[in-house]
Amino acid sequence: MEWLNYHHLLYFWVVMQEGSVTAACVKLRLSPSTVSTQVGKLEETLGGKLFRRVGRNLEPTELGHLVFRYANKIFSLGREMMDTVRGHPIIGPLSLKAGIVNVLPKLIARKLLEPALSLPERVHLVCHEDKEERLLAELAIHGLDVVLSDSPVRKGLSIKAYNHLLGECGVTFFAIEKLAIRFRPGFPASLDGATMLLPLNMTTLREGLERWFESLNLKPVIAAEFEDSALMKEFGQNGHGIFAVPSVIEKEVERQYDVRVVGRTNAVRERFYAISYERIIKHPAVTAITETARQDFFVNQKG
């Protein structure tokens, strides 16, 4: 087994925190040559460069950023250990770092995460919104505790992660009142030729809607496509077309955006997942999210 020299890691960590070798030397009370040599030895151990020179400045490489995230956790855990050993109990909130795939509706993300903030112990929630691939990469190095997504981890990805199905629901179509009154009769056949606002291609909702339209031989007119579901609802609220959302947030969408139901279908199913690096979830806040979703949020959304 190859052992890591934590003195080398400490010098690198301080350089990253202070922003330069010079500033790190002041804090460590060491000479620049000593600090540079120790960082160089860490690079040899890791087999890659941690910094690159840009003009007169040093900037961390991708490897440098990765090692720094691990170093933060290592030295934070070390401080906790010393406090515990010395009889100082850890005082502070439980940390929950949640990744939210950017196509997930904000209303659903909020409802899924809220149970974590209702635990008896105080929780410090940090939300990161990004594309699925980036969030899963961060999850793989334990930079996140959980990723909320509308699809499971795709097969073939070299990431060790586990899918925990939270629930599923059908889809509800909305529009402003004038359009809803016009297209509600004869739904879903009335959607043929109707102006629609849709999520981008390659999203699970878009793929489900396309299959459903094709099965019914419906050809709606696509007025606009959106990555951000909230922006799609804003356009729908202003009368630019009919849009579809997961039925589990039907009441909130109707109230918040002042739109009306055109129709519903259970033939298009939206599924939601908590993705973690644990096969059996142990994080108390993630447990609260999964249990509440299964026992409350999606309980009346059977197909």
* 69-88 tens-digit pLDDT: 888 888 888 877 776 677 65
Task: Return the DSSP state at 90.
Answer: -
Name the residue with higher pLDDT: 183 or 92: 183
Q: What is the reported pLDDT for 170?
A: 95
Q: What is the mean pLDDT of residues 15-41?
A: 87
The neighbouring-strand residues paired with 130 are 101
Q: What is the reported pLDDT for 84?
A: 65
Q: Identify the residue whose tokens are 């500033």.
A: 23
Structure token digits, residue 58: 């040093």
The angle formed by the CA atoms of residues 2, 145 and 100, to the nearest 5 degrees, is: 130
- The average confidence (pLDDT) of the chain is 89
Query: 78: helix, coil or strand?
Result: helix
Q: What is the mean pLDDT of residues 14-30?
A: 86
Give the span between the Cα atoms of 250 and 244, in whole angstroms: 10
Whether residue 115 has pLDDT greater than 90? yes
Name the residue with higher pLDDT: 100 or 93: 100
Report whether 278 contacts 140 (CB < 8 A). Answer: no
The pLDDT tens digits for 41-53 are 999 989 999 998 8
Whether residue 297 has pLDDT greater than 90? no
Give the span between the Cα atoms of 147 and 135, in whole angstroms: 7
Q: What is the reported pLDDT for 55?
A: 80
Query: 127: helix, coil or strand?
Result: strand
Put simply, whether the predicted model's pTM sits higher than 0.85 gets the answer no
Task: Return the DSSP state at 3.
Answer: P
End-to-end CA distance of the chain: 52
Q: What is the reported pLDDT for 1?
A: 46
| Intervals of CATH 3.40.190.10 along the chain | 94-166+272-297, 168-271
Structure token digits, residue 103: 């196509």
The pLDDT tens digits for 119-136 are 888 899 999 999 888 898
Band (pLDDT 50/70/90 cuts) for residue 94 is confident
Q: What is the reported pLDDT for 266?
A: 94
Q: What is the mean pLDDT of residues 186-212?
A: 94
CATH topology of domain 94-166+272-297: D-Maltodextrin-Binding Protein; domain 2 (3.40.190)
Whether residue 230 has pLDDT greater than 60? yes
Whether residue 10 has pLDDT greater than 60? yes
Query: 65: helix, coil or strand?
Result: helix
Contacts of 87 (CB under 8 A, 6+ apart): none
Helix (H) or strand (E) holding 197: strand 195-199
Query: 213: helix, coil or strand?
Result: helix
The neighbouring-strand residues paired with 176 are none
Q: What is the mean pLDDT of residues 32-57?
A: 88
Query: 247: helix, coil or strand?
Result: helix
| Intervals of CATH 1.10.10.10 along the chain | 6-85
CATH number given to 168-271: 3.40.190.10
Task: Return the DSSP state at 154.
Answer: P
Q: Which long-range contacts (CB under 8 A, 24 or more apart) does 203-208 make?
A: 203/103, 203/150, 204/150, 204/151, 204/270, 204/271, 205/103, 205/150, 205/171, 205/244, 205/246, 205/268, 205/270, 208/171, 208/268, 208/269, 208/270
Q: Distances in Å between the alpha carbon of 205 and those of 59, 75, 149, 208, 272?
A: 41, 43, 12, 5, 11
Which ranges in the chain belong to alpha helices (H)? Answer: 6-18, 21-28, 32-46, 62-85, 106-113, 132-140, 177-183, 204-215, 229-237, 250-257, 284-292
Give the residue among 219, 176, 212 at the shortest CA–CA distance from 184: 176
CATH architecture of 6-85: Orthogonal Bundle (1.10)
